[in-house]
Amino acid sequence: MMSRNSNSRGGFSLVELIVVIVIAGLVATAIFQILVSNQRIYTAQGESVRGQQTVRGAVEFLATELREISPRGGDILTMESDEIEVRAMRASALVCGRDGSDIFATALAGRIRPGDEVLVYFQEDPDTGNSDFWTTAEVTSESGSEQPQRCGDDPTRRYTLDNFADDSPTAIVDSGSLIRTWETVTYGLITQGGESFVGRIDSDGEEALIGPVEARRGLEFAYLDRNGDVTTDALEVRSIRITVRTLSQARDSGGRAIADSLSVLVTPRN
């Protein structure tokens, strides 16, 4: 009796190989989609954080600058919905005594030097604020002073003021008055590299400060009077609403462009 040996081969059939390839492709596709989705989420979150930082930084910077101006003192030179030109304070000193045409003052911020044009706060009647006003003058000399002149222990400087714009008598520059230097600055939108930034224009040229922001409505100013109504009279401005908006090219999960905005109401000094 003869026996027949049957040879059996191990391995995968063609159908099994096709199934494995299909499953591997599905798994790879799913992993790729997860990675792409995660990348979009990370990008969206990053753009959202950058947008928040941009609007906060821009609003805080502008609020700090505009809080120091005096609309009633003529510090607002021009005002538009998307830009404002002001006299920005750079150095200041508090008057604590006088001697003829000279005043004694202690520095509050920065340094006032000979040749500086300054704003001087006058008090014509100490009992009422209706007659107080600002006027311009020129510092013709500066020196140290050994006379405290009620400045306490603070370092005291002696300044000679001349060329008053209103020919006002120096005698009414009394203790408690403020003198300050300024520079003319415009705050608005500046285009740089095809993008819009909150920027500053001064005697040194234009400078992009914070951004990018939305191209057309990235920065808006609203000027309000004492009743909270919009005014076009710079002398009647009592508060300024600043609004900053950002708009990113990135999209959120709903396909919407990532945007952020922030508004703040600033009350300048009198």
Domain ranges within the chain, ordered by starting residue? 46-85+184-266, 86-182
Q: What is the pLDDT of residues 235-248, one digit of tens each?
A: 999 999 999 988 76
Q: Exposed (0-12), middle (13-18) or buried (19+): which is 244, by Cβ within 10 Å? A: buried
Residue 252 has pLDDT above 50, yes or no: yes
How far apart are alpha carbons 71 and 77 in whole angstroms?
Answer: 9
End-to-end CA separation in angstroms for the chain: 123
CATH assignment of 86-182, among 1.20.1180.10, 3.30.70.100, 2.40.30.10, 3.30.365.10: 2.40.30.10
How crowded is residue 18: how many other Cβ atoms within 10 Å of its Cβ?
A: 11
Those residues whose C-beta lies under 8 Å from the C-beta of residue 198, and which sit 6 or more positions away, are 58, 61, 62, 187, 188, 189, 190, 208, 209, 210, 211, 213, 218, 219, 244
Distances (CA, A) of 203 to 66, 78, 117: 18, 16, 15
Query: Is the N-terminal amide bond of 212 cis, ω within 30° of 0?
Result: yes
The pLDDT confidence band at residue 198, using thresholds 50, 70 and 90, is: very high
State both tokens at 71.
């609309």
Distances (CA, A) of 220 to 217, 244, 249, 262: 7, 7, 21, 11
The pLDDT confidence band at residue 73, using thresholds 50, 70 and 90, is: confident
How crowded is residue 130: how many other Cβ atoms within 10 Å of its Cβ?
A: 8
State the average pLDDT for the chain: 80
Look up the pTM and report it: 0.68
The pLDDT confidence band at residue 219, using thresholds 50, 70 and 90, is: very high
How far apart are alpha carbons 142 and 158 in whole angstroms?
Answer: 6
How crowded is residue 134: how many other Cβ atoms within 10 Å of its Cβ?
A: 21
Q: Which amino acid is at 82?
A: D
- DSSP assignment letter at 253: T
Residue 263 has pLDDT above 80, yes or no: yes
Q: Evaluate whether 250 touches 48 at the Cβ level (below 8 Å).
A: no
Look up tokens 């992993």; give the residue. Answer: 31
